[in-house]
Amino acid sequence: MELKSSIVVLLPYLPIALVLYLTYSYTKTWYRLRKFPGPWLGKFSYAYMANAVWHGKMNLVYADVSKKYGPLARIGPNDLLTSSPAIIRHMSSARSPYTRGSWYEAMRMDPYVDSVFSEMDVHVHDKRRAKMASAYSGKENPNLEGDIDDQVSALLGLIRRKYLSSGEKTRPMDFGRKAQFFTLDVITKVSYGKEFGYLDQDTDVHDYVKTTEDLVPWLTVCAVVPFMNAFMNRSWVKGKFGPGPEDKSGMGKLMGVARAVVQERFGEKKVEKRDMLGAFVKNGIEQRQMEAEVHFQIIAGSDTTATAVRATFLRLLTSPRVLAKLQKELDYAGRNGRLSSPITNAEAKALPYLQAVIKEGLRVHPPFTGLLMKKVPPGGDTIDGQYIPEGTRIGHNTWAVQRDPIYGEDVEVFRPERWIEANGEKVLRMEQNLDLVFGYGRWGCLGKTVAYIELNKIFVELLTNFEFELLDSDKPWRSVNFNLFMQDHMWLRVTERKEQNK
C-alpha cells in the first residue's frame, strides 16, 4: 500500500523529471562542440544526417552546409564536416594519429568480416593493405590492360548488337545501366580472371545492381547514426537476421558468389592465375578474408567508376563546345596514327584535352561522396586555432572540396580548359585537390590505377565509333546519392559514326 501511495504522489512530477532529464541530455550534447557552427538540428540529433541521406541528395545538402558554415561545420552531436583539403590530409597522412570512426564499421559489405575498407584497427589495415597493393597496381597481372580492352570491345559489341538506331528506327539504350555492366565486367575480369558476363547477357547477373540499390541506403543511414550501427552489429542480431552464403537473394547471395570465386583458388584442384586473387593468395591473404575483399571489390571497383563514366559522358553530351573540341583532338590523333584500336593507355595519356576532360569530369561530379569519418585521437586536436575533443568524428565533404577556389571562380562549370590554362604551382595544387577524390595517404583508394585506365579508354572508343543523342534533354537521367550514386534511365539514341565524320 505504501509503495502504491508513493507512486501516486510522484506521478504528477514525472513529466517535470522527463523535461529536466531531456534538457540536461540535450544541453550536454550541444555543449561538447558548441563553438562550431552548423544546422540547428545537427547540434542535438542525428536526425539531420539521417534526413540528408534518406532523401538521396546528401552530396548537395552537405555542399550547402560547407558553403554556409565554413570549412569545419557541425552536422551531428559528435560530428563535424570539413571541406578543407588541408584538414583531410592532416587526418589521413601516413603518420597521423587519427583513426577510422564508427562510420567505417557500418560499411562492411560482408557483415562478419572486415575488408581493407572497413577495417578499424590501423595496424591490421596497414599490414593487409601492404599485401594487397601490388595486386591493385597491376604488377601481378601482366595482361591488365588487355583484360580491360576485352570489356571495352564487349561494350561496343553490345551496342552494335542491340542498340544501334538508324533512320526512323530508334532503339533506346540506358547508358546508365550499360556503363555499370561495363565496369562490373572489368573488375571481375581483372580480379578473378573471368568476367561475370553482364555485357554478354545484358542483364543484372546475380542481381548485383538490385541488391546494392536496396542495401546501400540502409548502410549509409547506419553509418551516420551510431546507435543504429551498434544495434545492427550485435552478434545476436547478425546471428538471427544476418545474411548467409546459402541465401537465394540479397546480400547473402553475393556472399555465396564471393565464396565460390575464392574457393577455386584453394584445395587440391586450385586454380592458379596471375590476377588480383592470385596475388592475394601469393601474398598470404587468408581464404575467408579474401571472400570479404571480393565482396567489397565488386562494389568499390564498379559503382564509382561507372559513375565517373556516366557523369563525364553526360557533361560531354550537354556541352557541345567541349564535345566538338575533344572529337577534333581524337580525329586528328587518328589521322596521324596516334590511336590504336582500342587506344592504349599510353596513347590516351598523350592526349591533353582528353586528360583535361577526364579530370574535369571527376572534379565536377566526384563519384563517391561518403563521409569517410575519422576519429580525433586521445587528448584532442587543435585545428586552425579551434580545439576539437577526442573521439569527435570528422567527415570529408568531397563534393565541396572539388569546388575549392583553387579551381577558379567558375567551379560549377564543366570547363576542361582550366587544366590546360593552369601552370606551375597552381596546376600542382589543383591536381593534389583532385586526388582527394580517391582518398589520401594510408586510406587512399587502391583501385585508382584500374579506374584511370578504364577512363582513358572508354570515352575514346565510344566517340570514335558512335554518335550519341539524349532522348530526353529535360530528364537526362535518374540520379540519387547514398555515398555511391545510383544512376539509370540515361536514355540515348546511338548511331554508327559515318566515315566522313571521322
pLDDT score for 254 = 84
DSSP state of 500: G
Residues 10-35: tens digit of each pLDDT: 556 556 655 554 454 556 666 789 99
Average pLDDT of the residues in 408-419: 97
Residues contributing to the annotated binding site: 445
pLDDT score for 129 = 94
pLDDT score for 109 = 85
> Which helix H or strand E contains 238, and what residues bound it?
helix 235-241
pLDDT at 412 over 50: yes
Lookup: cell for 454: 578504364
What percentage of the chain reaches a pLDDT higher than 90? 74
CB neighbours of 239 closer than 8 A, spacing ≥ 6? none
pLDDT score for 138 = 76
464 C-beta neighbours (distance < 10 Å), count: 18
Q: pLDDT-based confidence at 139, cuts 50/70/90?
A: confident
pLDDT score for 192 = 86
pLDDT at 97 over 80: yes
Residues 306-348: tens digit of each pLDDT: 999 999 999 999 999 999 999 999 999 999 999 999 999 999 9
DSSP string for residues in 50-93? HHHHHTTBHHHHHHHHHHHH-SEEEEETTEEEE--HHHHHHHHS
pLDDT at 3 over 50: no
User: 30 vs 278, which has greater pLDDT?
Assistant: 278
Q: What is the mean pLDDT of the chain?
A: 91
pLDDT score for 92 = 95
pLDDT at 294 over 70: yes
Peptide bond into 378 cis (omega under 30): no
Q: pLDDT-based confidence at 247, cuts 50/70/90?
A: confident
Residues 222-235: tens digit of each pLDDT: 999 998 988 888 88
- Does the reported pTM lie above 0.85? yes
DSSP state of 194: S
Residue with cell 500500500: 1
Average pLDDT of the residues in 133-157: 91
pLDDT score for 15 = 65
Picking from 399, 395, 303, 315, the residue whose alpha carbon sits closest to that of residue 59 is 399
pLDDT score for 2 = 54
Residues contributing to the annotated binding site for heme: 445
Picking from 287, 368, 342, the residue whose alpha carbon sits closest to that of residue 456 is 342
Dist. CA 365–CA 310, nearest whole Å: 10
Domain 33-501 = CATH 3.40.50.300: no
pLDDT at 242 over 70: yes
Average pLDDT of the residues in 197-208: 94
pLDDT at 250 over 90: no
3-state secondary structure of 201: helix
pLDDT score for 177 = 98
Average pLDDT of the residues in 68-90: 97
pLDDT score for 428 = 95
- Does residue 182 contact residue 159 with C-beta atoms inside 8 Å? no
Dist. CA 106–CA 233, nearest whole Å: 8
Dist. CA 214–CA 209, nearest whole Å: 9
Average pLDDT of the residues in 102-121: 92
Query: Where are the chain's structural domains?
Result: 1-31, 33-501
